[in-house]
């Protein structure tokens, strides 16, 4: 058995324990192992029954039952995260015809949405324009009413006609 160890190892046989060889003249000593039988009432009875300190009472271990394999620790240690699966980019790819049909359907839906939005916006803009014209007419009426208080009625009518003419020429 000495020939099996490398040359730079040293072993020392011991009667009290086992010698485990270590490199560079180190030897670790292990105490003798004692296993107690389950038939003994307590440890003291088992100790009295063993005569030699290096003697060991070996019992049969119960047969291992078939259990589900335990998953090992995750690499990052975060057990609350889901386990990662293999990356398969082509797993749920559809055919070209199916994708092109989906694109056409999506384009039709977008066109309909755009048409509805434009219609809604034009209706809103029409209401805004109506409100603006009403406000402008009201302001003009109030302005002419103030002018009538200060000036003669015929002169105010003449100014109205002149402003109307200028407005028509500008537009």
The tens digit of pLDDT for each residue in 45-67 reads: 655 655 555 555 555 665 656 66
Structure tokens at 139: 């302001």
* DSSP-derived 3-state class of residue 133: helix
Instruction: Write the DSSP symbol of residue 62.
Output: P
- E strand or H helix that includes residue 94: none
Averaged pLDDT, 138-156: 88
Reading the block at residue 13, the tokens are 């046989």
- pTM over 0.85? The answer is no
Percent helix / strand / coil, the chain, rounded to 5: 50, 5, 45
pLDDT tens-digit series, residues 79-127: 888 887 788 887 778 889 999 999 999 999 999 999 999 999 999 999 9
Each domain of the chain, given as residue ranges in start order, spans 2-49, 97-170
Mapping DSSP to helix (H, G, I), strand (E, B) and coil, where does residue 119 land? helix
pLDDT at 154: 86
Top-confidence residue, 1 or 139: 139
């Amino acid at each position: 058995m000495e020939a099996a160890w490398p040359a730079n190892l040293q072993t020392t046989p011991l009667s009290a324990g086992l010698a485990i060889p270590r490199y560079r003249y180190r030897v670790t000593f292990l105490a003798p192992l004692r296993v107690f039988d389950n038939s003994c009432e307590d440890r003291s009875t088992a100790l009295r029954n063993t005569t030699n300190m290096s003697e060991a009472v070996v019992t049969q271990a119960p047969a291992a039952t078939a259990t589900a394999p335990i998953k090992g620790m995750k690499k990052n240690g975060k057990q609350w995260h889901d386990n990662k699966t293999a990356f398969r980019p082509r797993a749920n790819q559809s055919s070209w015809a199916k994708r092109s049909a989906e694109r056409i359907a999506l384009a039709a839906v977008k066109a309909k949405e755009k048409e509805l939005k434009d219609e809604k916006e034009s209706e809103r803009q029409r209401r805004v324009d109506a409100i603006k014209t009403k406000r402008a007419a009201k302001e003009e009426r109030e302005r002419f009413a103030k002018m009538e208080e200060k000036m003669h009625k015929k002169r105010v009518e003449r100014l109205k006609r002149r402003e109307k003419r200028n407005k028509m020429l500008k537009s």
